[in-house]
Amino acid sequence: KAGVTQTPRYLIKTRGQQVTLSCSPISGHRSVSWYQQTPGQGLQFLFEYFSETQRNKGNFPGRFSGRQFSNSRSEMNVSTLELGDSALYLCASRTGTSANNEQFFGPGTRLTVL
Amino acid sequence: GESVGLHLPTLSVQEGDNSIINCAYSNSASDYFIWYKQESGKGPQFIIDIRSNMDKRQGQRVTVLLNKTVKHLSLQIAATQPGDSAVYFCAENKWGAQKLVFGQGTRLTINP
């Protein structure tokens, strides 16, 4: 079974631009979460989607948004990029049922904002 | 607020020795704890988890201990191998939820 895939793996943008990152969960997984990882703040939860609905949200500004499609694939969007948005963005999937809470992470998208 | 922290940012051990990585958490309501391993260029990889109704759980070469009295979590790796070199994160959440709160991580280095 293929793991969580994220595209692109690397991205360079300039301040003020917007970016869209993509995540394909493990087949059969209906829950997708996004995390931001930086050296200073560590791993921080952005949001979680389940069956195309946002189920949880972290403490990030409205410039960060996401969505989930009917096939469980998810995208996250960051508008009006700032230098501080440079980070590794990680996607994680799980089945979504409470009986199994294990999350599987993708390799991440490394975003650099210049 | 919620926070999960690690006592040491780096840990060096001799190959073959046992490693112990510690973690403190502050949210008494958390009932599910996980240890992740992250190698360079990769996403975090699940190692082992434990629910709050347990105080010890063992896996293959790894043991997680939970002390709810002092809100402390530890990961023990037996017979540490070069492949164990990575950053280790503890995380907490409530069972069934998806909002993991991660610690800052401990970098484990193996000396030959």
Which of B36, B99, B104 best tests the A interface by mutation, with the highest count of A CBs <10 A?
B99
Structure confidence by residue, pLDDT tens digits, B85-109: 999 999 998 766 668 899 889 999 9
Mutate to test the interface with B, among A43, A53, A68 (most CBs of B within 10 A): A43
Q: Note whether A24 contacts B: Cβ–Cβ < 8 A.
A: no
Residue B61 makes CB contacts below 8 A (sequence gap 6+) with B77, B78, B79
* d(C-alpha A96, C-alpha A29), whole Å: 7
Q: Which CATH architecture has domain B5-111?
A: Sandwich (2.60)
pLDDT in tens, chain A (114 residues): 689 999 999 999 999 999 999 999 999 999 999 999 998 888 999 999 999 999 889 999 999 999 999 999 999 999 999 999 999 999 999 887 765 578 899 999 999 999
- How does pLDDT run across B22-44, given as a tens digit for each residue? 999 878 888 889 999 999 989 99
- The nearest CA of chain A is from the CA of B111 a distance in Å of 24
CA–CA separation, A103 and B92 (whole Å): 12
Nearest to B42 among A42, A56, A107 (CB): A107
Residues contacting residue A59 through CB under 8 Å, at least 6 positions apart: A44
Tokens of B48: 């082992």
Interface check for B42 against chain A (CB to CB < 8 A): the answer is yes
Q: Tell me the domain boundaries of chain B.
A: 5-111
* Å between A57 CA and nearest CA of chain B: 8
